[in-house]
Amino acid sequence: MSFLIAVLSFAVAIGVLVVVHEYGHYSVARLCGVKVLRFSIGFGQPLFSWRSKSGTEWSVAPIPLGGYVKMLDERESERTIAPEDLPFAFNRKSVGRRFAIVLAGPLANFLLAIVLFGALYATGVKEPVAQLGAPAVGTVAARAGFVGGETVVSLRDPDDGKEQAVRSWGDLRWKLVDAALAHRHLVVRATSGKQTFEIPVDLSHVQASEVDDNLLDRLGFMPGGVKAIVETVEPGTPAAAAGLREGDKLVGIDGHTVTDVNDFITQVQSRPGQTLALQIDRAGQLLTVPVLAKPASVEVEGVQKTVGRIGAALGGQMPTVEVRYDPVEALRLGVRRTWDISAFSVRMFGKMIVGEASLKNLSGPVTIADYAGRSASLGLASFISFLALVSISLGVLNLLPIPILDGGHLLYYSVEAVTGKAVPERWQMILQRAGIVCILVLSAIALFNDLARLIHS
């Protein structure tokens, strides 16, 4: 069932994004007086098609990995164009109009992301609270003085004094990653119980190559507030021998309160071979159960490490907060969020090119389909947020100055606008081939990363 959800969600996501992107090209082409011959969703021989009054053929093809808008163009026409149609040819339009037509596709993706984010902020969306779990010893969070259970309310840049409110865990995660990329110092304002305090955090030492999905875990900023509840007990393990049951709430170890599931896991892993006295809440009854933290060898970032395990799968639900804004503020935040993510994507791609960031950050269709399925299973709001993120990625990717992509054509038109002469067709052909090689290499890396994630998941 999960596989089917992933496939269907991926198909819906790609379909929506391709339609929006290509319709951006189509609509501006029509406004600029260019005749559009075909609007295709997918590649290959059309499964079905129809023709509109304007003469455009609308088709759906079987390879759902993109689409295209074919415009009347003397350079690409297989037959002689009728004299009365020549004024409607793409190549006969001014460089400014051609630039606008090509730029319209990526801009449509950014506009879609703004609308989707704006709709989420306006209607209200539930997100995990920005509550921290107990940090691992030696991490940035631990050295700064966090112990777990704190709720972050804002971040301040001590250099310019600018303070940004933190409304949810996702908001906190994004701001911390952004600060790490910029090598900034931060002052974290947090609450715990009735106390409010500020803790300075130094992220200036974080290398760009370290910025990946596990960055916050390595820094010690992990989501907290999730109660440690036993979901399953593996037969023949210390948890089974101790009599732990599904639904048991783990509230303490050796008399020390467990703040959340991460705190529990950290304490168990740090004490291999020791017998722990677990305090559990079983249907309202408090019990103390001795259990052995059986030693187990695991690999952490290429290093073998011995940790403790009891053989119980834990789960729980994070506390959430509803984030809602008025329509004008929601739209403004949608623009800001789209800009921030776009700028972040460009910076990350630039750092990958110069070797400062890992190429493992590239994802292909398998990972996108997996995330599509996961987000869809979490609800409409999660899927819409995922759709907005992928739409931004598609817009940024197409603006890269790589021949064959929209950005490559925009580069040609920019040269033409400055010099007054079009880039020679011979050079365009050479650069086109180089662009194809570049896209194939990026696709191969992304597919390799997809397969690696599948193997290690």
Pull the structure tokens for residue 195.
């106390």
Distance CA 104, CA 56 (A): 18
Q: Which residues contact residue 144 at a Cβ distance below 8 angstroms, ignoring those fewer than 6 apart?
A: 188, 199, 200, 201, 202
Distance CA 436, CA 365 (A): 18
Q: Where does residue 284 fall: left (phi above 0), alpha (psi -120 to 50 degrees), or beta otherwise? A: left
Handedness of CA 279, 282, 286, 288 (dihedral sign): negative
Report the chain's terminal Cα–Cα distance, integer Å: 18
Residue whose C-alpha is closest to residue 290's, from 303, 299, 300, 278:
278
Q: Which helix (H) or strand (E) holds 277?
A: strand 275-282
Residue whose C-alpha is closest to residue 63's, from 50, 38, 49, 46:
46
List phi, psi (to 5°) of 118.
-60, -40
Give whole-number Cα distances, 290 to 240, 276, 286, 306, in Å: 11, 6, 14, 21
Active site residue 22: yes
Helix axes 327-353, 169-181, angle to 10 degrees: 40
Angle value at C-alpha 156, between 152 and 158, nearest 5 degrees: 140
C-beta separation of 407 from 401 below 8 A: yes
Q: Catalytic one among 22, 76, 127, 329?
A: 22
Dihedral angle computed from the Cα positions of residues 449, 372, 406 and 37, in that order, rounded to the nearest 10 degrees: 130
Residue in the structure block whose two tokens are 């030693």? 295
CA Rg, the chain, in Å? 27
C-beta separation of 81 from 20 below 8 A: no
DSSP secondary structure string for all residues of 215-271? HHHHHT--B-----EEEEE-TTSHHHHHT--TT-EEEEETTEEP-SHHHHHHHHHTS
Handedness of CA 3, 379, 112, 362 (dihedral sign): negative
Q: Which residues are catalytic?
A: 22
